[in-house]
Amino acid sequence: MNLMRLASAMDLVAWRGFVYTVFILHFVFVCQLLLLQPLVSALDGKSSSSLDLFERVAQNIKVKRYSEAINDLNAAIEADPTLSEAFRHRASVLRQLCRYEESEKSYKSFLGMKPGNSAAEKELSQLYQAQSALKSAINLFDSGDTTKSLDFIDKVVLVFSPACSQAKILKVKLLLAAKDFSGAISETGFILKEDENNLEALLLRGRAYYYLADHDVAIRHFQKGLRLDPEHSELKKAYFALKNLLKKTKSAEDNANKGKLRVAVEDYKGALALDASHIAHNVHLHLGLCKVLVKLGRGKDAVRSCTEALDIDGELLEALVQRGEAKLLTEDWEGAVADLKAAAEKSPQDMSIRESLLKAEKSLKLSQRKDWYKILGVSKTASVSEIKKAYKKLALQWHPDKNVDNREEAEAKFREIAAAYEVLGDEEKRTRYDSGEDLEDMGMGGGGGGFNPFGGGGQQYTFHFEGGFPGGGFPGGGFGGFQF
């Protein structure tokens, strides 16, 4: 009986222990649900929020809204200074914008939390390369080495810092210095697409159009910039300089058209003095000046102006023609023929050029024949008596019998003097000579087989002078007996 009571008491204790154990286990489970679940939810929320942040940052960078990306990252770091990836993303954006000092601090903050991160260390190294390359590019640009400077910008800076506005503007300046105006227009187009109110880009793009002589488009860019900032000194300077150039050019052209040639010359010179580097426009100023100088008969100055135009554009046909005309004025017959022949080859259908070429060729041919007037020392308007008088004087001076010591030279001179008189002393021959006929080609005037005062085979040649020479003349000697 007592045993049965003892067993019953033990069963009751065991049951109570079982119930107590079950209660404790349920209590722990409930505590897990009540206390751990909010913590897990918080961690999951934090991870989801970070993913959303970085996705938004990446999207802003894609559409080049860098300021919004940085603002989001700054806000995230302020809310949670332990968010390491936010530091790395901010460092990357700042590096792309070439805000190198700020970027370096963010990279170092990230590496402080994630030491040894190879990707971040590589990006930091790229930052140092870009920073050094930008400094080198600026120094090279200042020293005038545009080629090397452009290499640093293209091959280093804009590779690691593709959104660097300072590098993009410097690249445009380098392209302008290299006279790659189309390239400068293209690059400023990209800059203005991101920021249409970028004053420096508007200024540089306007300059590129200016140097291409597209002045209307240049003025529009300068005007847009001045509407944004009316006191921008460089934009004001560029705008008013262009307006002044156009005013001077128009004045020169108007005066040339009105026949005010001397005034036009001064206007053209004034316009050319404004900007010697503006060759796309100056080539037309040089040509305009050359044409006016040709009309004024200032051949030497005209040749110089047309040569300036051809140095800029060797294919400028009108400059070639005008220089040919100018060379005719300076009696550079061979030069005139060369220029006009080159022009005729470029434009074989232009009859006015062919006429000018024929004129030049005729002048060249005339220049190559003997100048009988010059030989006798008389002007082209000399009278018959003046020609006879000059002939008598020179024939006496150069008669071979009076020049025993230099007989050969005297013979040549004497023959030339006689030939000159044969042409100029004959009214018909003189008229034909003055009209441009080459009498030498016709066997007259001392040409081969033509006039020879000494004859041949001892034949006698007699010169007749009114009144004769004092002293009764010269002995015949070896000339068949010259008689006066």
Segment 104-113, tens digit of pLDDT? 999 999 999 9
**Residue keyed to tokens 């041949």:** 456
* CB of 169 closer than 8 Å to CB of 200: yes
Q: Is the pLDDT of residue 429 over 70?
A: yes
**pTM confidence score:** 0.71
Average pLDDT over the chain, rounded to whole?
84
| pLDDT surpasses 80 at 330 | yes
Architecture of domain 372-479: Orthogonal Bundle (1.10)
**Dihedral over alpha carbons 168, 170, 171, 175 (to 10 degrees):** 140
Predicted confidence (pLDDT) at residue 206 exceeds the cutoff of 90:
yes
- pLDDT of 329 reads 94
Helix residue ranges per DSSP H, 369-406: 372-376, 384-397
Please name the residues in contact with 31: beta carbons below 8 A apart, sequence gap of 6 or more.
none
- Is the pLDDT at 31 greater than 80, yes or no? no
Q: Is 82 helix (H, G, I), strand (E, B) or coil?
A: coil
| 3-state SS class at 165 | helix
- In this prediction, residue 137 carries a pLDDT of 96
Of the chain, the percentage scoring pLDDT greater than 70 comes to 80
Average pLDDT, integer, range 52-81: 88
Pick the CATH number of 276-368 from 1.25.40.10, 1.10.1030.10, 3.30.70.360, 3.90.550.10: 1.25.40.10
- The whole-number pLDDT of residue 332 equals 94
Alpha helices in 258-371 (DSSP H): 261-272, 279-295, 299-312, 317-329, 333-346, 351-368
pLDDT for residue 465 is more than 90? no
Would you say residue 448 has pLDDT above 50? no
Q: What is the pLDDT of residue 479?
A: 43
Whether the predicted pLDDT of 386 surpasses 90: yes
User: Tell me, what's the pLDDT at 364?
Assistant: 86
The CATH architecture assigned to 40-178 reads: Alpha Horseshoe (1.25)
Distances (CA, A) of 402 to 392, 395, 412, 451: 14, 10, 14, 22
C-alpha to C-alpha distance for 246 and 252, rounded to whole angstroms: 10
Count of Cβ atoms closer than 10 Å to residue 276 Cβ: 8
In the chain, CATH 1.25.40.10 sits at 40-178, 276-368
Domain with CATH 1.10.287.110 in the chain: 372-479
* Strand-pair partners of 483: 462
pLDDT of residue 52: 82
Give the three-class secondary structure for 79.
Answer: helix
For the segment 72-85, what is each residue's pLDDT rounded down to a tens digit? Answer: 899 989 989 999 99
pLDDT of residue 61: 85
Count of other CB atoms within 10 angstroms of residue 309:
25
pLDDT tens-digit series, residues 138-193: 999 999 999 999 999 999 999 999 999 999 999 999 999 999 999 999 999 999 99
What are the contacts of 442-449 at 24+ separation with CB within 8 A?
445/370, 445/372, 445/419, 445/420, 446/370, 446/415, 446/416, 446/418, 446/419, 446/420, 446/422
pLDDT value for 368: 78
Q: Which residues pair with 462 in a beta bridge?
A: 483
* Burial grade of 427 (CB within 10 A; 0-12, 13-18, 19 or more): exposed
